[in-house]
């Protein structure tokens, strides 16, 4: 009965614990980050602000219509012998007016401004994509780092378990008259591995907190990750990657959008050399009431309407317009040079990163072969140690060789995956 009671109590707790430690896949981490990461949300808002500026009214295509109204009261006291005077009087004035102003032609400025605003909106979208891409890279790197640190912890824990077994055996042997030196060596190895495992647990905790922060969650949110770092197939040649990068690379797209915005700015600066033609129209209504005891109430109503055209043309402004054109042209030249530099830098980075990835894969193959050999050697030394045919120092040497080989293999796979991510980012193939 007691066993059944404890089972009923513990099962819900175990179920809740497993629910709290659900496996977070790489795709889920990116999805959560795209929704909750603060940098991504800010970048999207900035892009939306730039997009909202592309309306035709912002560029000056549409007219402005203003309404004004006035209401006033005046009390006047007069003492005069003039027969035309009202004497004491109270006056009320009420008026209202609508005024329309519409620029019909401004030297194509409104068209150039609209084009510039559209290019700025495109630039904002490109910058947002660049920020999102960099943030996704950070999320992917943080996730892979958690997997890496967890794998290193598994290596340290298995090593610690082996050292604990060795220490326990050495303790039994010492009690039966065995060597004190072997007991002390086993104790030193066990405590050294305990300290290393403790430090590795800290690294796992730090990596998990960093991933939670990268996706915009509470740093203490519990989760599990996938156990391995996968290396998907990637068989693009350098020429193919360069063609893809020139079409889809986020940083190159930002430079290209900046040039287009600068070109629109140059067109805008030339509009000051043209005349400006505007249409204006007004309609006003006025109601005036004078209340004079000597004359009675006198009411005046009036309605006025006017329409006209206004033409203006600047003849001289101290060469400021010429200076504006020169600045805009230089800004366009700088943007063009920046684009050329970005293209050259992209080509160089692709070449470098392609070599890096290929080298990382070769290093991974070597490290995994070395790891397999070290693992087989350790297993052999365990059997020999159990039969007493090797010393503690020989066993410890095999153990340390395996730790180094396994750690190097894990780090090599991590480095290869990061190099692949960088290649995918350069060619615009990150899934965002």
- What are the backbone angles phi and psi of residue 79, rounded to the nearest 5°? -125, 110
Q: What is the pLDDT of residue 12?
A: 45
* Rounded Cα distance, 158 and 148, in Å: 16
Q: How far is CA 35 from the centre of its chain?
A: 11
* Rounded Cα distance, 258 and 263, in Å: 9
**Residue 10 domain flag:** no
* Rounded Cα distance, 432 and 424, in Å: 12
* Rounded Cα distance, 8 and 17, in Å: 15
302 shares a domain with 266:
no
258 shares a domain with 141:
yes
**Residue 218 domain flag:** yes
**Residue 5 domain flag:** no
Q: Which domain-ending residue is among 264, 290, 312? A: 312
By the 8 A CB rule, do 95 and 116 touch? no
**Residue 337 zone, left/alpha/beta (φ > 0; ψ -120 to 50; rest):** alpha
184 shares a domain with 84:
no
Name the DSSP letter for residue 370. Answer: H
**Residue 14 domain flag:** no
CATH of the domain at 402: 1.20.1600.10
Q: Are strands 89-105 and 276-292 parallel, antiparallel or unpaired?
A: antiparallel
368 shares a domain with 326:
yes
Per-residue pLDDT tens for 294-305? 566 778 888 899
The dihedral formed by the CA atoms of 103, 109, 110 and 113, expressed in degrees to the nearest 10:
-150
- What are the backbone angles phi and psi of residue 290, rounded to the nearest 5°? -115, 120
* Rounded Cα distance, 118 and 270, in Å: 18
Q: Which domain-ending residue is among 312, 338, 365? A: 312
211 shares a domain with 174:
yes
216 shares a domain with 125:
yes
By the 8 A CB rule, do 132 and 40 touch? yes
**Enclosing domain of residue 225:** 21-54+106-274+319-426
Collect the ranges in the chain with pLDDT lower than 70. 1-21, 76-89, 292-296, 431-432
* Rounded Cα distance, 432 and 427, in Å: 13
Tokens 């890279």 label which residue? 137
**Residue 169 domain flag:** yes
348 shares a domain with 242:
yes
Q: What is the pLDDT of residue 19?
A: 45
Q: How many CB atoms lie within 10 A of CB 258?
A: 24
* Rounded Cα distance, 283 and 287, in Å: 14
286 shares a domain with 296:
yes
Q: Which domain-ending residue is among 284, 312, 340? A: 312
Q: What is the pLDDT of residue 149?
A: 96
**Residue 357 domain flag:** yes
Q: Tell me if residue 16 falls in helix, strand or coil.
A: helix
CA-to-CA separations, 296 to 75, 89, 92, 94, 291, in angstroms, rounded:
15, 9, 14, 19, 6
376 shares a domain with 308:
no
Q: What is the pLDDT of residue 350?
A: 95
**Residue 334 domain flag:** yes
Per the structure, the count of domains in the chain is 2
Per-residue pLDDT tens for 13-24? 444 444 456 789
* Rounded Cα distance, 297 and 208, in Å: 86
Of residues 215, 130, 199, the one with CA closest to residue 160: 199
**Residue 2 domain flag:** no
346 shares a domain with 300:
no
User: What radius of gyration, in Å, describes the C-alpha atoms of the chain?
Assistant: 40
* Rounded Cα distance, 94 and 70, in Å: 6
CA-to-CA separations, 81 to 86, 293, 294, in angstroms, rounded:
11, 16, 13
252 shares a domain with 130:
yes
Q: Tell me if residue 235 falls in helix, strand or coil.
A: coil
CATH of the domain at 293: 2.20.200
Burial class (CB within 10 angstroms; exposed 0-12, middle 13-18, buried 19+) of 427: buried
Q: Tell me if residue 104 falls in helix, strand or coil.
A: strand
Q: What is the pLDDT of residue 74?
A: 79
342 shares a domain with 389:
yes
Q: What is the pLDDT of residue 216?
A: 92
Q: What is the pLDDT of residue 91?
A: 79
Of residues 273, 424, 252, 411, the one with CA closest to residue 353: 424
* Rounded Cα distance, 21 and 221, in Å: 9
């Amino acid at each position: 009965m007691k066993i059944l009671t404890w089972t009923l109590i513990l099962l819900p707790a175990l179920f809740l614990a497993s629910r709290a430690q659900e496996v977070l896949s790489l795709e889920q981490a990116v999805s959560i980050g795209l929704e909750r990461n603060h940098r991504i949300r800010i970048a999207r808002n900035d892009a939306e602000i730039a997009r909202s500026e592309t309306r035709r009214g912002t560029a000056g295509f549409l007219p402005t219509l203003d309404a004004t109204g006035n209401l006033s009261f005046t009390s006047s006291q007069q003492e005069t012998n003039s027969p035309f005077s009202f004497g004491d009087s109270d006056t009320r004035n009420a008026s209202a007016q609508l005024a329309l102003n519409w620029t019909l032609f401004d030297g194509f400025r409104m068209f150039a401004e609209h084009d510039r605003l559209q290019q700025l909106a495109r630039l904002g979208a490109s910058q947002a994509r660049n920020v999102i891409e960099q943030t996704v890279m950070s999320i992917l790197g943080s996730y892979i780092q958690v997997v890496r640190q967890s794998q290193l912890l598994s290596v340290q824990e298995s090593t610690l378990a082996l050292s604990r077994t060795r220490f326990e055996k050495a303790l039994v042997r010492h009690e039966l008259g065995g060597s004190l030196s072997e007991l002390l060596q086993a104790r030193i190895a066990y405590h050294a591995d305990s300290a290393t495992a403790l430090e590795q647990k800290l690294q796992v905790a730090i990596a998990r907190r960093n991933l939670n922060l990268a996706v915009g969650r509470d740093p203490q949110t519990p989760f599990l990750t996938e156990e391995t770092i996968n290396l998907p197939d990637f068989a693009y040649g350098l020429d193919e990657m360069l063609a893809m990068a020139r079409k889809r690379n986020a940083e190159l797209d930002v430079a290209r959008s900046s040039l287009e915005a600068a070109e629109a700015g140059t067109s805008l600066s030339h509009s000051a050399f043209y005349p400006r033609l505007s249409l204006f129209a007004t309609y006003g209504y006025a109601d005036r009431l004078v209340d004079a005891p000597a004359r009675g109430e006198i009411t005046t109503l009036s309605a006025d309407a006017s329409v006209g055209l206004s033409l203006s043309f600047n003849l001289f402004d101290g060469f400021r317009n010429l200076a504006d054109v020169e600045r805009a042209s230089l800004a366009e030249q700088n943007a063009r040079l920046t684009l050329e530099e970005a293209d050259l830098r992209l080509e160089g980075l692709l070449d470098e990163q392609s070599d890096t990835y290929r080298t990382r894969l070769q290093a991974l193959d070597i490290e995994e072969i070395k790891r397999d050999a070290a693992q087989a050697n350790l297993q052999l030394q365990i059997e020999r140690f159990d039969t007493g045919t090797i010393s503690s120092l020989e066993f410890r040497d095999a153990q340390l060789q395996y730790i180094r080989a396994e750690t190097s293999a894990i780090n090599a796979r991590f480095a290869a995956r990061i190099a692949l991510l960088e290649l995918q980012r350069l060619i615009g193939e990150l899934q965002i």
